[in-house]
Structure formats: structure tokens, C-alpha cells
Amino acid sequence: MSTNKLHIPLTMHDLYGDNVLYSSRPSYGFNPWLQPEEHQSNLLSARELIIANMPVIVHKATVTEKIQKLLEIKGVRMPEQFVTYETRSEYENIIKAYAKQGKIFFQYAHEKGFVHDDDYVVRRDIFLNLNNKSIIEKWTNGAYLPKREIVKYTDFEQRVREWTLPFVVKPGDEHPTAGGYGVMLCYTDEDVEQTVRRVHEATDTDQLIIEQFIEPVKNYCVQFAYSEARGITFLGASIQNVEKYGKYRGNTTDRNIPEAVIEAGRKIMQNGVDAGYVGIAGFDILVDKDDQLFAIDLNFRQNGSSALLLLDNLLEGEYKKFLAYYSNGDNQQFYETILEEVKHGNLFPLAYYDGDYKSENAFPSRFICIWHGDEAMIEQKSKDFEERLTGEVHAE
């Protein structure tokens, strides 16, 4: 099969324009609520490379011959618009140098003063406000909210013990969170005490949110995109798979999104646009057994399932599943298993972080992908694949 560029109907370049560099990884700076290990952050740097069509700063281990070969099997040419880094100093120097000639779209806001606020595509202060969980009612017009209380850090321990279980605790300041990190679900008194201990460790926190736990029938991530030229575009919605204690485990497609969910998301997106937002945004909206809607998290940024939705019509099959996998240490076996499955035709590679890029098994390799095909077949294939892989299954 000859390789070619994917003809994606909407890319990040269409939204952000020229002279913009995209960074998908968290800052190297300390964040008490988002402390992924460095390899995870490096993997994330390339998660949106396929849908970008614009300069992206990626770790060198994500653009090796291995990912190129996986893409070639799918008939896709490796994107060329990227700049690579290996170390913290290289990453930071590249960002700062680019900011002198263009703008940056940060997936996660970096420390104040890292670059000027106006060097962000969406000004840093606006970006932080849009993603601040404590003022979510501003963007929902006070609708779709669970019962919640915002408490000062110093008052948290007393107030949290006065709430009735179950409930959820979240950071209520400008620190970004993702993938369930920083979200603490409390079902038991033991969970409450563990949460208190976790909060005590996060001394660089001004306030926290205690929120009613909603038992969802469906957990949607409904996504929109905005540019001045295109206006607001509905990208679709996916089902979020979340563990009992809130850890995000990927997304699957859903063809029957309630109109009420789409309309709620559109209203939120419009409020964000009115405040100055440009780009892709995804809103976590729960539907309970009474068909009530609850907006529990607003992410004015790309999301794990953004590529899933943007590539939906380009990948065969009605059912799509976004997942990530980590090697158990045998990187060669990990890659060969992936290679074999990609050849079978139902696995699309988004990113491969090569633990062998300098020396064999230097660190565990990681892989982000989309399964596509018939639902029953994909569920069985992915289960069999995980057994052969003998590694860990994760979502980013």
C-alpha cells in the first residue's frame, strides 16, 4: 500500500493557524495534582501529532523508525512538522525561542513567566480560568452542576468529614489535572482519611472542591472546535471509561448522543468562545438514571479522544476504542506484538514511545492507539491482544 497524508477534515492547524507551536506534555515544573512520570509526559508529546498538521514539539523517542513503520502499514505517511527534544533544558529552550517569533498552544498551562501570557494562543489567564474547576458555574451559567462546596485548604479537613458519603474531592485552583489524577473519590471513611493525607501533601494549593458523587448511566466527553473562520463545530462525543476510583481508562465511540448533551456542550463552548477561547474543547457530562445532566469537568484543550473523533470517518468500522499500552520491560516483544496486530488491520497507531531509541530496554516502551471495526470483534481482539502483550493497559 502506498503511503499518503491522511485527509483529515479538520486539523489543529485549521484552528490555530500559522506560526503556532503545539506542546502536549505537562510542564517540567512541580504540580501537586499532576505528577506523571517523565516517560508518560514524553509519550503525551506526540499524542496529537497525526491530527496536528502544524509544528509540534515531541520527544525524540516518539519519532523513531518504529512509529514510521507502523504508520506505513496503515498506508499513512509520517508527519514531518515536528521539532524534537530530549532533556528539560532542550524542551524549555525550544519553547522560549519559538515564542519570540510565534505563539504556543500549551495543552497544560506552564508556570507564570515561563513565556509571556500573550505568547499563548489563548492568553494564559483566560486559559487558566476556563480550566479552573472552582468556577465551572461561570461557563455553565450555573446549570448542570452537582451539589458542591469550595473550601479553603486550611478548612478542608474539618469540612470534608462533615459531608455524607459518597462524594468527590478535586483541586480548586489553577493547577491543571488530567486522566483522573487529582480526583479523589470517597466511598468509605478510609477513603476520606486517605484523601486528607493526600491533600496534606499538596501544600501548594489554595482551595479544594467537595462535590456530590453522581452515579452515571453514561459518561460522555462531548467535543467542539472553534475558529473565527469556521465558528463552532461539533466534533462528536465518546463514552469515557473510568474506574471506580476515577482513573481514566480510555474512550469508545457512541452513535446515539442525546441531543440534550450536545446542546449543553454547545452552550458551554459558546461561553468559552465569548471569553476568548480558540480550538478544541471537551466537556465531561454525566447522565444519571433520571436523565439529568451533570457537567463535572470542562477541558478547554485537546483531549484523549480528540484524535478518536477526528479520525472516526477515516477508519473502517462503526466502533472505535482509544487506549494506551505500556511494555512490561521486553520492548522487542512489545513492539513485535503491536506490529503483528497493526498488520491485521484493526489497530491504528497514534504514537509509539521507543524505549530502545538509544539502548536496548533503556525504559519501557509505550503505545497509544485506536482500535476500529465491529464492536464484538474489537472487544475480543483487544482482550486477546492484551493477553499476548503481557504488559499494562492504560489510557492517556
- pLDDT in 10s for each residue of the chain, 396 residues: 345 667 899 999 999 999 999 999 999 986 666 556 789 899 999 999 999 999 999 999 999 999 999 999 999 999 999 999 999 999 999 999 999 999 999 999 999 999 999 999 999 999 999 999 999 999 999 999 999 999 999 999 999 999 999 999 998 877 666 555 678 999 999 999 999 998 988 777 889 999 999 999 999 999 999 999 999 999 999 999 888 877 777 899 999 999 999 999 999 999 999 999 999 999 999 999 999 999 999 999 999 889 999 999 999 999 999 999 999 989 999 999 999 999 999 999 999 999 999 999 999 999 999 999 999 999 999 999 988 886 454 544
The DSSP 8-state label assigned to residue 133 in this structure reads G
Classify strands 319-326 and 366-373 as parallel, antiparallel or unpaired: antiparallel
What residues pair up with 45 in beta bridges, in sequence order? none
Whether the CB-CB separation of 321 and 353 falls below 8 Å is answered with no
Cis upstream peptide for 55 (omega within 30°): no
Element (H, E) at 167: strand 167-171
Q: Positive or negative, the Cα torsion across 141, 305, 243, 132?
A: negative
In CATH, which of 3.30.70.3450, 3.40.50.300, 3.30.1300.10, 3.30.70.270 is domain 314-394? Answer: 3.30.70.3450
The alpha-helical segments, DSSP class H, found in 208-366 are 259-275, 306-310, 331-344
Whether the CB-CB separation of 128 and 299 falls below 8 Å is answered with no
Q: Where are the chain's structural domains?
A: 12-130, 148-212, 215-308, 314-394
Domain spanning 215-308, CATH class: alpha beta
CATH 3.40.50.300 given to domain 148-212: no
SS3 label, residue 257: coil
Q: Hey, what's the cell of 70? A: 507502523
Q: State the catalytic residues.
A: 301
Buried-state track 286-315, b at ≥16 Cβ within 10 A, e below 16: bbeeeeebbbbbbbbbbbbbbbbbbbbeeb
What residues pair up with 120 in beta bridges, in sequence order? 104
The DSSP 8-state label assigned to residue 249 in this structure reads E
Chain position carrying cell 520491560: 329
CA-CA-CA-CA dihedral for 299, 300, 302, 304, to nearest 10: 10
Could you check whether 215-308 and 314-394 share the same CATH topology?
A: no
Can you give the pTM of this predicted structure? 0.92
Whether the CB-CB separation of 15 and 48 falls below 8 Å is answered with no
